[in-house]
Each structure stands twice: as C-alpha cells, then as structure tokens.
Structure 1
Amino acid sequence: MSEFIYSIVMWTARIHDEIMGMNDGWGYYNSDKKLHFIVMGIIGMIVVLAAYFIFKLLQNHPLVIAFIYAFTVMIVLTFSIEIGQGFYGTGNMEMEDVVAGMGGFLFFFVIFALVRGIFLLIFNLLRGNDRKKRKKQR
C-alpha cells in the first residue's frame, strides 16, 4: 500500500513540475497559488460534472450530492498535493495553497451553478408559456 501511495505522490509531483514548467515556458509566470486556484478549480468542476452525471441517474436532485462529493474529493486532493510537495521538495507546503485550490473550486462551482440556474429559469419560463397555450386551446 505504501508503494501505491508513494507512486501517486510521485505522479502528482511530476504533474506539478510539468505545469510549473509550462507556465514559465509560455511566459505567464503565474504564482503557485494562482496555478492552484486555476488547476484545482478545473479539476473540481470535472469531479462535479462526473458526480452530477452519476447521481442524476440515481435521483431527482443530484447537484447537492455532487457538490458534497466533489468538495470532499477536492479537500483530500489539495492536501495530498501539498503533502507531496513537502515530501519531495517540489514546492512549499503551505496552507494558503490549500485555501487557494479550494477557492478556485468554489469559484468555478458558483459560476457553474449560476449559469445552470439561468438556463433552468429560461427553460421553465418557456415551458410554462407553452403549457399556458395548451390549456387555452382545450
């Protein structure tokens, strides 16, 4: 089991180094915290969308369960990345990175929830008008 965990930590450390190299290579020079914000936000949304799809198959209102699941996964993932950075010396192990990563996830989730809410509102308004027309025709 320890070899499995060791390989996961090495894998995440390599990915972290690769992202930092791409960031610097492309001339962006974003800070470690800004990259945590962006990358963890994107990963969090991937987890939310996957969980949302799975839970939608299981019940009527899956977004809350998907958020709770994704939030839990993101906490574990951000802490494991920080522990890996501290263990392998690929970055500074800081609580601010965890907060930045979780902030990115929450930011992307709020944007998703707002866009989804607007689409549902428009859909329900259009659908409601269609239902009123059908009732008048009867």
Structure 2
Amino acid sequence: MTRLLYAFVKGAALIHESILHLNDRSGLFLTDKQLHFLIMGLIGMGILAVIYPLFLVLSRHHVLTIAWIYVFTVMVVLCFAIEIGQGITGTGNMEFADILSGMAGFMLLFIIFAVLRGVCLLIMKLFRL
C-alpha cells in the first residue's frame, strides 16, 4: 500500500513539475493556487463531460445505479482516507488489502440488498396482475 501511494505521489509530482515548467516557459507565471484552480477545474469539467451524459441516460430508469456509483465513489475515498490516516498516525497498518476487504464488504451487502429489492419488486408486480 505504501509503495502504491508513493508511486501515485511521485507521478503527481512529475505532472506537477511538468505543469510548472510549462507555466514558466509560456510566460504566464501563474501562481500555484491559480494553477490548481485552472487544472483541477479542467479535470473536473472533463470528468463531468463523460459522467453527465451517462447519468442522463441512467436517470431515466436506473436511479439505483446512479446511487451505487455515488456510494461506491464515497466508499473508495473513505477506505483510502482511513488507511492513509492509519499510516500517518501509526494507529494501524496501512494496507491495500484492507481497502479491498472494506470494498468487498460493501459490494456483498449491496448485492444482497439488490437481490432482496428485486424479489420485493417481483412480488409486488405479480400481485398487481
């Protein structure tokens, strides 16, 4: 897990340095905060350009799928935050396996929920006929 985080941080640092060099060479001389504002804004809008049409289609009949995507995203962030927090504070071992285990727990309980929901909807549909 630590290696993965260091690799991610190293990659982010390389990208950051490249952007800083590009900023200096272009003559813009934007501050670090201005660059964060611009780059993160562009990344967010790029993600939105992909996600918005997908959610538009899903919203017609698949609200549960949208809810699952949202909760899955929150759970990934939460699991990583807990593990990083354990590594920083020394209150536990920062392990990628813990993230996978936590996500597997969410997935299993979601599958159980989805099956039970499907059975309930089927029963309701059968009794309406």
Taking structure 1 as the reference length, the TM-score comes to 0.49
1:65 aligns with 2:36: no
> 2-side partners of 1:68 and 1:89: how far apart?
31
- How far is the alpha carbon of 1:95 from its aligned partner? 0.3
Query: Where does residue 117 of structure 1 map in the other structure?
Result: 118
Shift in Å, 1:62: 1.1
CA distance in 2, matches of 1:62, 1:90: 38
CA RMSD in angstroms comes to 1.2
Q: 1:60: Cα distance to partner? A: 4.9
Unaligned ranges ≥5, structure 2? 1-58
The alignment-based identity, stated in percent, is 58
- Name the residue aligned to 1:37: none
**Which residue is equivalent to 2:105?**
104
- 1:61-118 deviations in Å (ceiling 9; x for gaps): 3100000000000000000000000000000000000000000000000000000000
The code of the aligned residue for 1:64 comes to T
State the aligned residue count: 71
In 2, Cα distance between equivalents of 1:90 and 1:59 = 45
Amino acid at match of 2:74: V
Q: Which amino acid aligns with 1:84?
A: G
Matches within 5 A, 1:1-138: 60-128=61-129
Q: Structure 1 runs of 4+ off > 3 angstroms?
A: 58-61
TM-score w.r.t. the length of structure 2 is: 0.53
Residue 86 of structure 1 aligns with an amino acid whose one-letter code is G
